[in-house]
Amino acid sequence: MARPSKLYLVCYNSLQALGWFVALLRLLPCLAPPVSVHSAYAVAGDLICVLQTCAILETVHAAIGLVPTAPLLAFLQWGGRTHFVLAVVRQIPEVHSSPSVLITFMAWSISEVIRYSHYALTTLKVCPSWLTYLRYTAFIPLYPIGVGPGEMWTMYQALPFVKKRNLYSGRAGVLSVPVAEAVHACVQATQVEAGKGEQEETSLRKF
C-alpha cells in the first residue's frame, strides 16, 4: 500500500473512532438520572447520522481497492444502517424518545469504537492483542442486542407512522403497507396465542 493511502486510512478510521467515542460519551449519561433513556436521539442522533452517512466512503475504499472488502458487501452494510437512521428514525420524531433507540445507538457506538480503532492501529501495525480479541468477540453480544431490542423494535414502532404518512413512494411504497400489516398481524397473532395459553392454564388450575 502506498504511503498516502496508508495515511489516509489511518486518518479516516481514527476520525470515525473519535466520532463514535464522542457519541458514546453523550449516550452514557442517558443510563442514569437525571438524564432520561428517552433522550438518546436528542443528545447523539445528529452526530450518529453524520458519522453513518460519511461511512459511504468505505464502499469507495472497497471499490478502488484500498481495503480487501467486496464493494457490494460494504454498500449493503452501509445502506442498511443508513436507511434505518436517516429514512426511519430521523424522519419519525415519534420514535426519537423510544428506549430502543438508546439500545441501538449504544450497541452501534461501542462496536464502532472497537472496529475503527482496530482498523487504524492495524494499518499502523501496532494493534494490541486485546483489541483484536474485542474486535472479533464483542459483536457476539452487541449484534443481537442492537438488532433485536434495538433496530427491530424501533422499526416496529415506526411502522404505523410509515404507513400513515406514506413515507415511501413508488415501488417502495407498494411494499411498505403490506410489510407493515404483515408485521402487525404476526405480533397480534402472537399476543392472541399467548392469551389463549393463559386462559387454558387458568381453566386447568380451576380443575
- Nearest by Cα to 40 from 113, 120, 127, 105: 105
Q: Judging by beta carbons within 10 Å of its beta carbon (0-12, 13-18, 19+), is residue 149 exposed, middle or buried?
A: middle
Active site residue 143: yes
CA–CA gap between residue 108 and residue 111 (Å, rounded): 5
Active site residue 151: yes
Residue with the three cell numbers 472496529? 115
DSSP structural state of residue 34: T
131-to-19, 20, 109, 125, 193 alpha-carbon distances in Å = 18, 16, 16, 12, 46
Which region, left, alpha or beta, applies to residue 166 given φ > 0 means left and ψ of -120 to 50 means alpha?
A: left
Asked if omega into 29 is within 30° of 0 (cis), the reply is: no
CA–CA gap between residue 66 and residue 63 (Å, rounded): 8
Residue with the three cell numbers 411494499? 175
Is the CB of residue 17 less than 8 Å from the CB of residue 113? yes
Per annotation, catalytic residue among 41, 112, 116, 151: 151
Per annotation, catalytic residue among 143, 181, 193, 200: 143
**Active site members:** 143, 151
